[in-house]
A and B are shown apart, each in its own frame.
Chain A
Amino acid sequence: MSRLRALRAEGIVLAVLALLPWVAPALHVPADVLTRSLIWGLFGLGFDILFGFTGMLSFGQAAFYGTGGFVSAWLLTSGTLSSVPLALLIGMAAATAYGLIVGYVSLRRVGIYFAMITLAFGEMSFFLENSPLAAWTGGENGLPGVPTPSLGLFGHVYAVKAGWPLYAFIATIFFAGYVVARRIVASPYGVVLRAIKSNPRRAPAVGHDAQRYKLSAFVLAAAYAGLAGGLLGVFQGYMPPDAFFLSTSGQLVLSTVIGGRATLIGPLIGAFTWIDLRSVLQQVPHLGAAWKLIFGAVFVVIVTLFRRGIFTISWNPGDVHAVGVELPSD
């Protein structure tokens, strides 16, 4: 019974993801918005382990999102590989390796200095993508023409089309990522991460090698980012240089803060909020370029009203593992 209760969050997330293709059209939420939100949600799962649970604010996650994305997209568009899942895994591995290097350097500092170093790595990565590596990444053009996956199921080859089938593909990956992230934060390892966050001096004092724990959290976040980046290219058939922009890292932080830190599901909710809002505002007739102004204003209101995130305020099932430990006062 207690085992089942421990899996309640997974059950709810699975049920919601599975029901959305039926519920969302009635609410006029397109598959496109949901799929894009799931990619950001997956990106956010790793970031939440790093930021929400371990307390390290990185402004350079775009570096790994872009690396994973461009490695996967290059493999698929250059004709090196035809298997989308394999390309995604290699992209993820590349982002993980890059995360290990960046983490090794940037984790020598904490707090704002750590944030600054990650930001610098993010910008350096964008420069690399844009100029020296332009022959592979397409520079400012990005890489168009990324194919959709074809999956072998029961002897049939099933081509995953855009729309709801692609939603199902990405939702499945998101759910797997969510289950893994839940296991991580609920494990003894996750407890140490939270200990580091709540008291960065005491954790090493009681015998934990805080540096290695932090590095592993950083690498985990990079792996999630790499996988999400790869999915972005597959989802829209195009890998944009925008993935490396500072604004990508910023939006990830924003999504996590709006949705709720240390909740795992918060970044997904935060991302859905702005992606859907953006989509809706652009459909308002005669608004034109002014949509951005309203978009900004709504953001200020949301952040002011939901200081600890939409998810933490509106949904608190009393599950310690899902909600995480009490946050230090903002």
Chain B
Amino acid sequence: MARKDRRVPRDAARRDFMRSTAGIAGGLLAAGLAPRAAQAAPQPLGTWPLGVTGDSVFVGVTCPLTGPYSAAGEDHKKGYELVIEHINSGELAKHWHHLRGKGVLGKQIRYQVGDTESVPNPGVQAQTRFITQDKAIMITGSVNSATAIAIEKLAQREKVVNMVGASGSNDTTGKDCQRYGFRSQPSAYMAAKALAPVVVKEIGKNKKVAYLVPDYTYGESVFDSTSQFTKQDGGWQIATKQVVPLGTKDFSSYLLNIANSGADVFVNVAFGADCVLSTKQAKQFGILEKMKLVVPNISPFQAKELGAELMQGVYGTFDFYWGLEGRFPLAKFFVAEFEKRYHYKPEWCAHIAYMQTMLWAATVEKAKSFYPVDVIKTLEKTSFSDTTLGTVHYDAATHQLVRPVPVVVGNKPSAMKHPDDYYRIAGLVPGAETMPPAGFFGCKLGSYT
């Protein structure tokens, strides 16, 4: 029972909070207890200023530690561990000029990792706890768009800045976008727009395509965007669209339809363990011999699970690939530090954790304040140079990070220079070229306060 020491400063904060609200609580509960009026204070907002009174601040992290996305979730968690240690120790400030000294504005970051179990509710539950109990000043993390959006809306309601974790759905910075939510991963739209010209060039025009689509916001987004751009760029037609529930174990009925669809290309939108399992089963159905495989958003560890034999010639996009270390100095630092500690090259879920936390810390330093409105306004107008992906900025209208999108292709086993060399970077498409036209997804950011 690891309850915290009662004398830590945030308990004092909690008592203050209690004082203003408990009177009302009592008044509602027991007749005869007069409700005490809330004390006048300089406009507290969300967990501010209660969350920043001590010499440290709390960041609420949620990752899927169990369930179908647990492998990616573990990678995601390692990214947070590493970046928070690098910020607290001042190590990152030595390599990136947007940070100064140890911690953020001199305050150390404390954090806890809640398990989302790969579904939304436990994630929302954990972040609710981090906000009410720990007075989290920023919340972050997810490997699932449904979870990401649920947490984004929680953040908006509770007025706590949310640096969204891994989430590829267009809705995250589209129809469900929030003033308090910022996303760094390329949207499905951006990924598809970057990928389409490359696959059309490599595979050819006027192909028939079979899609395997997971049944939630992410799957629909990727399907819509990929089918739109491959049609636009190369006249690709949809032969069949098979919709599968999340966490399916037996894909045979869907794959049978795909095998019989007469398609030339198999686009597998399934993610995580679902993608690995469905690709293995697709091989047994002989689909991979008849059709070219395209995975619009390649899952972490997918090549390790499937092997280079299966992944060779497969096209897809990533948020980040360790091979970018040759292009950006900070990427080299991140990859080297990560490998030193965890003994493998970081996957992109770790990178999202690293980048999002780093950008938030830099913003707080620049704004010289943790006050959410200052932080959001600074995030909306700052261009961050020399990041792990070069110069990036958040689009002020949607809070989508405008950043280059790496398009990769699976290496032949014989072409691999070392065991982690699964992909070749086929293109690094500039972020601005992949962004949707203004207002395309109907994003309406909510209010600042």
**Interface of A with B (CB < 8 Å)?**
14, 17-18, 21-22, 25-28, 30-33, 36, 130-131, 139-142, 144-145, 147-148, 158, 161-165, 167-169, 171-172, 175, 236-238, 240-243, 279-280, 282-285, 288-289, 291-292
Whether A14 pairs with B154 at a CB distance below 8 angstroms is no
Separation in Å of the A157 CB from the closest CB of chain B?
A: 13
Separation in Å of the B356 CB from the closest CB of chain A?
A: 20
In the A-B complex, the 9 residue pairs with the closest CB atoms = A240-B121, A168-B25, A144-B153, A28-B3, A140-B216, A30-B133, A289-B65, A242-B121, A168-B28
List 21 A-B pairs, Cβ < 8 Å: A21-B18, A22-B18, A28-B4, A28-B6, A32-B133, A139-B216, A141-B120, A141-B150, A142-B121, A145-B157, A147-B157, A161-B21, A168-B25, A171-B25, A237-B158, A238-B154, A242-B119, A280-B2, A289-B74, A291-B65, A291-B115
- Bound CA–CA A94/B157 (angstroms): 27
With contact pairs A36-B125, A280-B1 given, residues A17 and B153 touching in the complex (Cβ less than 8 Å): no
- Bound CA–CA A238/B151 (angstroms): 9
Chain B residue numbers with a CB within 8 Å of A243 are: 121
- Interface-lining segment among B9-17, B290-298, B343-351: B9-17
Which of B21, B154, B158 contacts A144 (CB under 8 A)? B154
Query: Would you call the interface of chain A mostly helix, strand, loop, or mixed?
Result: helix
With contact pairs A32-B133, A142-B120 given, residues A282 and B128 touching in the complex (Cβ less than 8 Å): no
Contact count A vs B, C-beta below 8 Å: 151
B281: interface (CB < 8 Å): no
Whether B150 pairs with A238 at a CB distance below 8 angstroms is yes
Q: Which residue of B lies closest to A145 (CB)?
A: B153
Taken residue by residue from 54 to 95, chain B's Cβ proximity to chain A (1 for < 8 Å, 0 otherwise) reads as 000000000001100010001001000000000000000000
Chain B residue numbers with a CB within 8 Å of A33 are: 129
Whether A279 pairs with B21 at a CB distance below 8 angstroms is no
- Bound CA–CA A189/B29 (angstroms): 29
Query: Would you call the interface of chain B mostly helix, strand, loop, or mixed?
Result: helix
Separation in Å of the A171 CB from the closest CB of chain B?
A: 6
- Bound CA–CA A17/B126 (angstroms): 23
- Bound CA–CA A205/B182 (angstroms): 67
Q: Please indicate which of the listed interface residues B22, B70, B156, B246 has the most CB atoms of chain A within 10 Å of its own CB.
A: B22
Whether B153 pairs with A22 at a CB distance below 8 angstroms is no
- Bound CA–CA A302/B124 (angstroms): 27
Chain B residue numbers with a CB within 8 Å of A172 are: 28-29
Chain A residue numbers with a CB within 8 Å of B77 are: 288
Chain B residue numbers with a CB within 8 Å of A141 are: 120, 145-146, 149-150, 216-217
Which of B26, B66, B246 contacts A18 (CB under 8 A)? B26
Whether A162 pairs with B216 at a CB distance below 8 angstroms is no
Separation in Å of the A197 CB from the closest CB of chain B?
A: 33
Whether B245 pairs with A130 at a CB distance below 8 angstroms is yes
Whether B119 pairs with A164 at a CB distance below 8 angstroms is no
Which of B22, B24, B122, B215 contacts A139 (CB under 8 A)? B215
- Bound CA–CA A25/B30 (angstroms): 19
Separation in Å of the A177 CB from the closest CB of chain B?
A: 14
Chain B residue numbers with a CB within 8 Å of A130 are: 215, 245
With contact pairs A30-B129, A167-B25, A168-B28 given, residues A282 and B112 touching in the complex (Cβ less than 8 Å): yes
With contact pairs A163-B21, A236-B125, A289-B65 given, residues A31 and B132 touching in the complex (Cβ less than 8 Å): yes
Apart from A27-B3, A241-B120, 13 more pairs, CB < 8 Å: A18-B29, A21-B22, A30-B133, A139-B216, A161-B21, A171-B29, A236-B124, A236-B154, A240-B119, A240-B120, A280-B2, A289-B70, A291-B65
Chain B residue numbers with a CB within 8 Å of A161 are: 21
Chain B residue numbers with a CB within 8 Å of A242 are: 119-122
- Bound CA–CA A280/B26 (angstroms): 27
- Bound CA–CA A21/B22 (angstroms): 7
- Bound CA–CA A294/B114 (angstroms): 16
Whether A25 pairs with B11 at a CB distance below 8 angstroms is yes
Q: Which residue of A lies closest to B152 (CB)?
A: A144
Whether B154 pairs with A26 at a CB distance below 8 angstroms is no
Chain B residue numbers with a CB within 8 Å of A292 are: 66, 115
Chain B residue numbers with a CB within 8 Å of A32 are: 128-129, 132-133
Separation in Å of the A318 CB from the closest CB of chain B?
A: 26
B176: interface (CB < 8 Å): yes
Q: Please indicate which of the listed interface residues B29, B70, B215, B217 has the most CB atoms of chain A within 10 Å of its own CB.
A: B29
Chain A residue numbers with a CB within 8 Å of B265 are: none
Whether B29 pairs with A168 at a CB distance below 8 angstroms is yes
- Bound CA–CA A240/B114 (angstroms): 17
Chain A residue numbers with a CB within 8 Å of B70 are: 289
Chain B residue numbers with a CB within 8 Å of A17 are: 29
Whether A237 pairs with B154 at a CB distance below 8 angstroms is yes
Chain B residue numbers with a CB within 8 Å of A14 are: 29-30
Separation in Å of the B439 CB from the closest CB of chain A?
A: 21
- Bound CA–CA A279/B3 (angstroms): 10
With contact pairs A163-B17, A236-B124, A282-B114 given, residues A142 and B157 touching in the complex (Cβ less than 8 Å): no
Whether B2 pairs with A282 at a CB distance below 8 angstroms is no
Taken residue by residue from 95 to 124, chain B's Cβ proximity to chain A (1 for < 8 Å, 0 otherwise) reads as 000000000000000001111000111101
With contact pairs A148-B157, A289-B115 given, residues A238 and B124 touching in the complex (Cβ less than 8 Å): yes
Which of A36, A131, A169 contacts B28 (CB under 8 A)? A169
Whether A158 pairs with B24 at a CB distance below 8 angstroms is yes
B131: interface (CB < 8 Å): yes
Separation in Å of the B26 CB from the closest CB of chain A?
A: 6
- Bound CA–CA A152/B125 (angstroms): 28
Whether B132 pairs with A163 at a CB distance below 8 angstroms is yes
Chain A residue numbers with a CB within 8 Å of B1 are: 280
Which of B120, B121, B126, B246 contacts A282 (CB under 8 A)? B126
With contact pairs A168-B29, A292-B66 given, residues A284 and B246 touching in the complex (Cβ less than 8 Å): no
Q: Which residue of B lies closest to A292 (CB)?
A: B66
Chain A residue numbers with a CB within 8 Å of B126 are: 282
Chain B residue numbers with a CB within 8 Å of A31 are: 132-133
- Bound CA–CA A80/B122 (angstroms): 28
